[in-house]
Structure 1
Amino acid sequence: MGTPPLPGPTGRYHGRAAAERRAERRERLLSAGLELFGTLGYAATSVERLCAAAGLSTRQFYQEFANRDAVLAALYEQVNGHAFAAVSAALDEAAGAAAAERVRRVVRAYVTVTVTDPRRARIACVECAGAGPAVQEHRREWSRRWAALLAAVGETAGARRPAPRDAHLAAVGFAGAANALLHEWCTADPRPPLESVTGLLTRMLASVLCTAPACP
């Protein structure tokens, strides 16, 4: 009998598929990026430093990401995606509640997911501001998504009903003001109490969305 043919490549190494290994490498790099960008800052974090923190080589880095901007953009997407899901869920759960209560729940959900981890807040509100064009496009897209969601909060909270364009502009204005406030909180030393930030954001959003009798 002849020698049987060798099996073709399976893409597995030590029993693990290539896709699994790549997903693990990506997660390790994102975890390193969250820690380093969120503490030392984006400008102070080189690709080599990211790789050292993740325990990977630069070759492995470039198999997953084109550059540091791509890591920052992925983290920005992650932070905003989690916050958006939490705020959307809070909005659904508060269906039928008074306007003031809906506003409070929306702000609390956002703060709980984002601001209680200063690294996430710094990535979302500080480090992305000075990054490259690809990251800025992510910021513009998320600004549009947040504005649409905030306008929906007003529409469903029994608030005054401005023209759609006015509601959108008001939501964009609040999102920009909130980002500036959180930027200040992230960079302040010492940081103001988080409760004061939450209260101020709640009052700001209420003033944008709600009628005076319904909101604080």
Structure 2
Amino acid sequence: MSSVSEAAGRAYGGESAADRDDRRRRQLLDAGLRVFGSVGYRAATVRGLCREAKIADRHFYQYFDRTEDLLLAVYAECIAHLTDSVSDTMAEIDSDGDLRAAAEQLLDPFFRVVEDPHLARVVWMEVLGVSPRVEQTYLTVMQQFGTLLLGYLRTFAGDVESGPDVDIDLLATAAIGGISHTAMTWYQSGYAAERRVVVATIATMLANIVAPLTVSVPRTT
């Protein structure tokens, strides 16, 4: 039996091989967020990432083929954090409130997450212009998030008449475009505006996007 194979599956200090793999991958993901979110993706190296993660350079390639793969994994976790902040809030929203109030309730936890400068830089700056694969991932994720948000607000507001000249997918694109650009400029300003002001402003925008399309539907009791 190969001594290398034995070592790979051996437990050290009570830590199993599987737990050790999970820990190292977690360390790389956390290091990726810190490095990509500070010095940037293009300045990052495998050696620097491994040093930040406190693991040997050779272990990087057990989990990722290249730094772009780590970037995508970090980006996926950032997006999951943002999406979860909105999804978790949906169950808590007062169904008797108005559309703008619902939008504010959804956006406040979202922009609270955006206040992490490492996450904001990765999501809105470091994934741009890397490669066609990363670019397509970014566009797909943004569209999905816009559809989630606008779809929920449409349901909250009632039935919707889109009409022949209104494309709901384009509305979702417009909505997430406004949110994304605001998040990026807010981050770049050093979070100059108070979060409550940012939330109130974007909630007004979303309400104005959805409200003209809604048909008044009596609430059932």
For the aligned residue pairs, the C-alpha RMSD in angstroms reads 2.4
Aligned pair in 2 of structure 1 residues 211, 95: CA closer, same or farther (>3 Å)? Answer: farther
Within 2, Cα distance between the matches of 1:181 and 1:204? 11
TM-score (ref. length: structure 1):
0.84
More displaced, 193-202 or 37-46? 193-202
Aligned partner of 1:140 in structure 2 is: 139
SS of corresponding position for 1:126: helix
Query: Does the Cα contact within 8 Å between 1:107 and 1:202 map onto a contact in 2?
Result: yes
Which stretch shows the higher mean deviation, 66-75 or 128-137?
A: 128-137
Counterpart in 1 of 2:101? 101
Is the counterpart of residue 13 in structure 1 residue 14 in structure 2?
A: no
Query: Would the alpha carbon gap of residues 123 and 204 (structure 1) be closer, same or farther in structure 2, given more than 3 Å must change?
Result: same
Q: How many pairs are equivalent?
A: 204
Q: 1:185 touches 1:192 (CA, 8 Å); kept in 2? A: yes
Q: Counterpart of 1:51?
A: 50
Q: 1:121 to 1:159 in 2, by over 3 A?
A: farther
- What is the TM-score of this pair, normalised by structure 2? 0.82
| Cα deviation code 1:9-58 (max 9, x no counterpart) | 59232132222111111111111111111111111211111111111222
Measured in 2, the distance between the counterparts of 1:159 and 1:110 equals 23
Q: Deviations over 1:96-133 (max 9, x none)?
A: 13211110011112112x21211111111111112223
Shift of 1:136: 2.1
Structure-1 residue corresponding to 2:207: 206
Runs of 4+ in 1 over 3 A off after TM superposition: none
The residue that corresponds to 1:41 in the other structure is: 40
Q: Tell me the SS of whatever aligns to 1:129.
A: coil
Residue segments in structure 2 that go unaligned for 5+ positions in a row: 214-221
Percent identity between the two aligned chains: 27
Change (3 A) 1:103 1:95: same
